């Protein structure tokens, strides 16, 4: 009888030993699936009506050049604000005083800086709108000598700067 019980226990041990969960394997594919990129939003901006305004543009930038100032619109991928500010100003975020304003669907970053060029000293001001996909950048460079005279014009440009649909 003891042998018979021992045989049943061994038989259950053999059968129950095979009840282990099945191994699962991760499937790896060689093709990379790229999600369709979203088109950048349309920027709303009111450009001052000067008599002599030169316009230049590229794929992701536009430049409006007046007698004493430049208005530059640029679009960068979102995610690295430091890189975006460095591309615009030439300075890291750590070397700028950046004011951050958070709204419902968009973050806004404002800063100002000065630089020296071949033509003389320039004063710069920028606004970066971040919708989570792109950085929409407006920067204005003004000759330092006349920055007080064109301040109202520059303020009007920044006041009218927004993204359509936000």
At 78 the pLDDT is 92
The Cα–Cα gap between 69 and 110 comes to: 18
The Cα–Cα gap between 63 and 71 comes to: 6
For residues 150 and 68, is the Cβ–Cβ distance under 8 A? yes
Encode the chain (166 residues) as per-residue pLDDT tens digits.
667 676 676 666 666 665 556 667 676 666 665 555 688 889 999 988 866 788 899 888 999 998 888 999 999 999 999 999 999 999 999 999 999 999 888 999 999 999 988 878 999 999 999 999 999 999 999 999 998 998 999 999 999 999 987 6
Q: pTM, whole model, 2 decimals? A: 0.74
At 60 the pLDDT is 87
The residue whose two tokens read 């042998």 is 3
At 14 the pLDDT is 62
If you ran DSSP here, which 8-state letter would residue 95 be given? Answer: G
For residues 54 and 62, is the Cβ–Cβ distance under 8 A? no
The Cα–Cα gap between 123 and 143 comes to: 6
At 38 the pLDDT is 80
At 19 the pLDDT is 56
């Amino acid at each position: 009888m003891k042998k018979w019980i021992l045989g049943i226990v061994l038989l259950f041990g053999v059968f129950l030993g095979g009840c282990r969960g099945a191994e699962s394997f991760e499937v790896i594919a060689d093709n990379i699936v790229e999600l369709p990129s979203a088109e950048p939003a349309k920027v709303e901006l009111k450009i001052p009506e000067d008599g002599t305004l030169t316009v230049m543009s590229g794929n992701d930038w536009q430049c409006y050049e007046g007698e004493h100032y430049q208005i530059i619109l640029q679009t960068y991928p979102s995610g690295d604000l430091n890189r975006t500010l460095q591309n615009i100003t030439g300075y890291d975020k750590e070397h700028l005083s950046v004011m951050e304003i958070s709204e419902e669907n968009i973050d806004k970053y404002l800063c100002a800086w000065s630089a020296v060029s071949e033509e003389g000293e320039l004063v710069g001001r920028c606004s970066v709108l971040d919708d989570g996909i792109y950085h929409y950048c407006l920067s204005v460079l003004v000759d330092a000598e006349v920055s007080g005279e064109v301040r109202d014009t520059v303020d009007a440009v920044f006041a009218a700067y927004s993204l359509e649909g936000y």
